[in-house]
Structure 1
Amino acid sequence: MSSQQGVKLQIESDHVVLDNGMLKLTISKPQGMVTGIQYNGVTNLLESRNDEIDRGISGTSFSVIVENEEQVEVSFKRTWDPSLEGQLPSLIIDKRFIMLKNSSGFYSYGIFEHLAEWSPFNLPQVRIVFKLSKDKFHYMAVSDNRQRFMPLPDDRSEKRSKPLAYPEAVLLVNPVEPEFKGEVDDKYQYSCENKDLKVHGWICSDPAVGFWQITPSNEFRTGGLVKQNLTSHVGPINLAMFLSAHYAGDEMVLKLKPGEPWKKVLGPVFMYLNTTTDGGDPLSLWEDAKRQMAVEVQSWPYSFPASEDFPKAEQRGRISGRFLVHDWCVSETSIPGNGGYVGLAPPGEVGSWQIDGKGYQFWTQADEQGSSMDMGDVVYEPPRHGPTLWEIGYPDRTASGFYVPDVDPKYINKLYVNHPDSRFRQYGLWDRYTELYPDKDVVYTVGKSDWAKDWFYAHIPRFLPKQQKNEGRRICTDHVADQILRRQRWQYEQ
């Protein structure tokens, strides 16, 4: 699809409409909530039955930043003053939306600011959420091998599902579509590392329409490349996660101290819409979305955001060099960091980038010679007290190669049955530890045991003996379940 129409902005009393001839975007004024997306003959791709009050932080003022035939950028801003103490977080929040000529989608970003004289507060999560029409979008894609037809949101209702260990997970006992009966639905099963989280979304078959969230850079996300984040899930929900404490807990919460100023641009991200021509296969929209993702990545940093707080390419520096590893126990000479990730992050203790949420991080991947961009040789010397005596697994921050048990048939997600790299995402695998080792914990004998068979992929406690099992579960749920699940999904996945 293409259109030579320029971008038009229509301003009404309670909403604005951005229209480039390919799609129309309706946004409430001054709240800044996207209430309508018209595309390919569909009046609104969003779930119109979603409660208006369930749409996040509202703006209190509206302004036009850019308006011409090539581009429209609008702002929905919410300010703060001490009279709002205790009612709202002490932040200025500026939500921006951009539409470009002949672009099949729209961009969104946020500018968050906290002044030094304002009260301190904690910010655990920032995200953009779209709830699509449940009558239209039934197929979800997160990656090439993680995509499927999904249950309906109705299937999670009390009469159609059974609650499991935490609210996000339910067992589908009477779904609308019988094919989903006996499956577990859990949004955490579709999480993804930031480095692989560039495009995900949903497909509607009639008419063929894809709705995709494309994130071209990780620089504004928290926790670096290996931080796990939510993607899409039953709703149908599509998320752009900027800041999240998921899988990490309190350490990842952004904490602004007394007297600490802070300002950060989150995004832009691109909401891409596509369709097929001549009755093509709707599932081909995923391949097209990946192609568009590559275009957006190549275009970063964007030249069109109007905010002075978003540095354009000409305002940014450039560094390059070669990443080498000097491990005297392995080689007398430095070894190229083949495929290693190289990043720039705010100063801090070793590893502090993993929990940083206030600053920006800039990452690239070295080639087989360890080269990225020319800043000379950067030599990493891993801490050593002597030669390695023994080790298990691969030092790649994953549980790859460890023993992942078969899922209990009662708690299955068909997507991950015999999945090559995501079997560990099945619900309830932590319970299998107690079943497999009811009397004592795993004992690994160096030189004899096989870590692919004898080392459970996650470190979790066993439940109490059978006669105390229910009480043990209650204690576990009340006090440490969150930590258990967090470790199961994060530490051993990383």
Structure 2
Amino acid sequence: MAKAGWKRQLGFLVCWLAIVGQLFVLAESSVNTRSIPGSMNSGEVRSSPPLQLHRLDHHVVMDNGIAKVTLSSPQGLVTGIQYGGIHNLLATNKESNRGYWDVVWSVHPHSRNVFDQLEGTKFRVIREDQNQIEISFTKTWHSSLNNGQIPLNIDKRFIMLRGHPGFYSYAIFEHLEGWPDLNVEQARIAFKLHQKMFNYMAISDTRQRFMPTDQDRMTGQVLNYREAVLLTNPTNSDLKGEVDDKYQYSSENKDNRVHGWVCSDPAVGFWVITPSDEFRVGGPVKQELTSHAGPTSLAMFFSAHYAGPTMGLKLRGGEPWKKVFGPVSIYLNSVAADKDPRLTLWNDAKQQMLKETENWPYNFPLSEDYPHANQRGTVTGRLLVRNRYSKKNLTAANSAYVGLALPGDVGSWQTENKGYQFWTRADADGYFSIKGVRTGNYSLYAWVPGILGDYKSDLYVNVNPGNENKMGALVYDPPRRGPTLWEIGIPDRTAAEFYVPDPSPKLMNRLYINHAEKFRQYGLWERYADRYPNHDLIYTVGVSQSQKDWFFAHVTRNVGNQTYEPTTWQIQFDLENVNKRGTYTLQLALASASFAELQVRINNRHAARPHFTTGLIGRDNAIARHGIHGLYWFYSVDISGLRLLNGRNTIFLTQSRGSTPFNGLMYDYIRLEGPPTN
């Protein structure tokens, strides 16, 4: 009897432990279901195979039954992605050239740049259970290492979730106090896909096409720079005679949320999704690369593209620094053979992008350097614009871009690269709410489409976990000294509203024919001389139209034998009753500058000294890289009434730097104001 009773008690104990264990599994599954930025409910997740982490001699494999991701160990290079019946979505070249993090760095401003794939030296498992795997590949610097090692601590993380088709990656970069000086020009994640499978690229609803291969580019004709190639004998004959250039597929950060590639047989999509801009630099309109021929897909965190070296990270004097880049999502999808693979997979990728964005900040990354939603704060307020010389003095900053970045001068967010930035758009009444802000001290910046200049609040914003910072009503006083006499363009920080020519018939990309972004065609700088063969641009206020008569870029003139000369544009206008004792103001907003110098002369083209000069400015190279803007520049130029005439006046604008076709600038907006009035 005693023995039987003991057996019954043991049986009850085993059953009770099994029930408790099952409840624990269900609870854990439920928690992790909320972590998955998709649409699967807890039942669907539980029905998905549990995660497995396979440890091999020199690799590790994350496997959730939907996809398998193979990484070299301890380097942390992505060497294989198995999905949708394809053994490996990545290229067949060597393992180090398939999927990787990389930076371009140097220790001195003028030393040789080093391309570094940040290969880890230690592998760790952060979490391994049936619902989530997070693994880490670290590289630690110490003073005994030689100068060939980047002076950063690197922690690359990869995450796989149960039931989710794809994976996530993020990294923590750290430079400790007292460490050597460091320059980093670029940081990104790159993926090289299988060339024979992926040939259709999608960046947006209107920017999709079949793409050339690397081999097509190798057999083509290199144009003014190595990235631009005329396809002379491509595999796809429909592409013959087109120009391929990776810069033609750049996007602004705010639009660079999802891009990737489609394989038609089997119908599989590979997508890079960036759910937040907080870890990218340069604000919402900084342009970066996306996907391009290769087939290649990138998640860019920062670079000199469309900004110049000023955008590079510079650590001096033993400055400590730490930043988390990502996570970004690598999303995989597939579709039945009877569906249109390109449209269906792209639309699904867009929907997944919205889910990822809505779930930011994620609650599943496990690094203590990545704060979850409850560890962040919110900043709210309203932005108004003071309109001098208008009957309605204050108006709402309709659709204003409002953002937080490290404290600095007005507009400094454009080139700030060490901290995090958080941006939103105000509504029609100027109200804004910036959510998910990391703890820290920020300045609040803004600009308003259609309104000149930049705004910066005089108040610092201290964000604490769980708090809402209510800024109240803020008033922006745009640059304004007098009433408008005339204006050219729209103050929107781009040159898009000006005349953009058609490309040469022999140097076109058919994607951008009759396209809203026709400025992305190659060689448009050469079309200036075609339009103005005998003299430079002359714009007559009240007669000329900016959409037809103001060339989008103030470029040099090709006079033959690869010789490029400066050009001088004229603005002609009439004035009556000039106030000789008053001061007029020329408001000049530039959308781009590359090795340029803008000189302003008033009514005397041949004056030995210009009335105003910017000096040498800019290295954004937006003209060569088919961007309608780079960095924003703003100048207010005083003009004494003594320099102006009753009747016809001429302002001469000389871009005085020659030597290459890419010396030049783009105008955003020009306004002449009369003397101040009561």
- If the TM-score is normalised by the length of the shorter chain, which range does it land in? over 0.9
Offset of residue 319 of structure 1 = 1.6
* 1:388 counterpart = 2:449: no
Name the CA distance, whole Å, in 2 between partners of 1:163 and 1:324: 50
Checking the alignment, whether the CA contact within 8 Å between 1:322 and 1:372 is kept in structure 2 is: yes
Distance 1:354 1:389 in 2: 30
What's the CA shift string for 1:386-415, capped at 9, x where partnerless? 223222222112222210111001111000
What CA distance in whole angstroms lies between the structure 2 residues aligned with 1:453 and 1:196? 28
Whole-Å separation in 1 of the counterparts to 2:325 and 2:305 = 18
Percentage of matched positions with identical amino acids: 56
1:138 deviates by 0.6
Which residue, 464, 469, 474 being the options, matches 1:378? 474
Aligned to 1:166: 225
SS at match of 1:125: strand
Partner Cα separation in structure 2 for residue 220 and residue 133 of structure 1: 29
SS of match in other structure, 2:82 = strand
| Structure 2 counterpart SS, 1:288 | helix
Select which of 286, 294, 302 maps to 2:362: 302
* Partner secondary structure for residue 345 of structure 2: helix
Q: Does 1:405 align with 2:501?
A: yes
Give aligned pairs, total: 483
Q: Where in structure 2 are the equivalents of 1:345-494 lying within 5 Å?
A: 345-373=405-433, 375-419=471-515, 421-463=516-558, 465-466=559-560, 469-472=561-564, 483=619, 485-487=621-623, 489=625, 492-493=628-629
User: Contact between 1:247 and 1:490, CA under 8 Å: does it hold in 2?
Assistant: no
The whole-number CA distance in structure 2 between the counterparts of 1:196 and 1:484 is 20
The CA distance in 2 between the partners of 1:302 and 1:80, in whole Å, is 29
Deviation, 1:439, is 3.1
**What's the offset of the Cα at 1:4?**
1.2
Say whether 1:138 aligns with 2:188: no
Q: Distance in 2 between matches of 1:130 and 1:53?
A: 8
Q: Which moved more, 1:123-132 or 1:80-89?
A: 80-89
Matched AA of 2:292: H
3-state SS of the aligned residue for 2:548? helix
Task: Measure, in 2, the Cα distance between the counterparts of 1:412 and 1:330.
Answer: 46
Q: Secondary structure of the equivalent of 2:172?
A: strand
Residue in structure 2 matching 1:197, options 223, 232, 256: 256
Distance in 1, Cα, partners of 2:97 & 2:143: 25
Distance 2:521 2:193 in 1: 26
Letter in 1 for 2:143: P
Residue 334 of structure 2 is matched in structure 1 by 275
Q: Secondary structure of the residue that 2:482 maps to in structure 1?
A: coil
**Are positions 1:182 and 2:241 aligned together?**
yes
Residue in 1 aligned with 2:321? 262
1:14 corresponding residue in structure 2: 58
Instruction: Indicate conservation of the 8 Å contact 2:522/2:626, yes or no.
Output: no
CA 1:330–1:124 in 2, change beyond 3 Å: closer, same or farther?
Answer: farther
1:314 aligns with: 374
Aligned-residue offset at 1:84: 2.6
Structure with higher RCO (Cα < 8 A, 6+ apart): 1
- Structure 1 residue 488: Cα displacement: 5.1
Once residues 397 and 620 of structure 2 are traced to their aligned partners in structure 1, the CA distance between those partners, rounded to angstroms, is: 34
- From the CA coordinates, give the structure whose radius of gyration is larger: 2
How far apart are the structure 2 equivalents of 1:138 and 1:123?
Answer: 32
Given that residues 512 and 518 in structure 2 are in contact (C-alpha distance below 8 angstroms), is that contact kept between their aligned partners in structure 1? yes
Contact 1:248-1:490 within 8 A present in 2 as well: no
Whole-Å separation in 2 of the counterparts to 1:51 and 1:44:
12
User: What residue number does 2:5 align with?
Assistant: none
Aligned partners of 2:52 and 2:62 also within 8 Å: yes
Is the Cα contact below 8 Å between 1:459 and 1:488 reproduced in 2?
A: no
TM-score by length of 2: 0.69
How far did residue 348 of structure 1 move?
A: 0.5
Report SS of the residue matched to 2:238: helix
In the alignment, which residue of structure 1 is the partner of 2:138? 77
- Code of the residue aligned with 1:395 in structure 2: it is P
Q: Supply the distance in 1 between the matched residues of 2:511 and 2:403 (Cα, whole angstroms).
A: 33
C-alpha contact 2:188 2:299 (8 A) present in aligned 1: yes
Q: CA RMSD in A?
A: 1.9
Q: 2:486 aligns to what SS in structure 1?
A: coil
Tell me which of 33, 53, 66 is aligned to 2:77: 33
Deviates more, 1:281-290 or 1:85-94: 85-94
Q: CA deviation at 1:435?
A: 2.0
Q: Unpaired runs of 5+ in structure 2? A: 1-39, 101-116, 434-469, 566-593, 597-617, 631-678
Q: How does 1:286-297 map to 2 (within 5 A)?
A: 286-297=346-357
Aligned ranges for residues 179-258 of structure 1 at < 5 Å?
179-258=238-317
1:203 aligned counterpart, secondary structure = strand
Quote how far apart the aligned CAs of 1:192 are. Answer: 0.3
In the alignment, which residue of structure 2 is the partner of 1:476?
Answer: none
Give 1:195 deviation, angstroms: 0.4
Distance 2:535 2:145 in 1: 55
Instruction: Return closer, same or farther for 1:490/1:371 CA change in 2, 3 Å cut-off.
Output: farther
Change in CA separation of 1:344 and 1:485 when aligned onto 2, cut-off 3 Å: closer
Contact 1:394 1:400 in 2 (8 A): no
Q: Larger strand proportion, structure 1 or 2?
A: 2
Give the conservation status (yes or no) of the 8 Å contact 2:307–2:620.
no
3-state SS of paired residue (1:142)? strand
Runs of at least 5 residues in structure 1 that lack an aligned partner in the other structure: 474-478
Structure 2 residue aligned with 1:43: 87
**Letter of the aligned partner of 1:162 in structure 2?**
Q
Aligned partner letter, 2:547: A
1:85 Cα shift? 3.9
Q: Secondary structure, in 3 states, of the residue corresponding to 2:201?
A: strand
Whole-Å separation in 1 of the counterparts to 2:488 and 2:239: 38
Distance 1:386 1:327 in 2: 11
Q: CA deviation at 1:372?
A: 1.7
Supply the distance in 1 between the matched residues of 2:296 and 2:548 (Cα, whole angstroms).
37
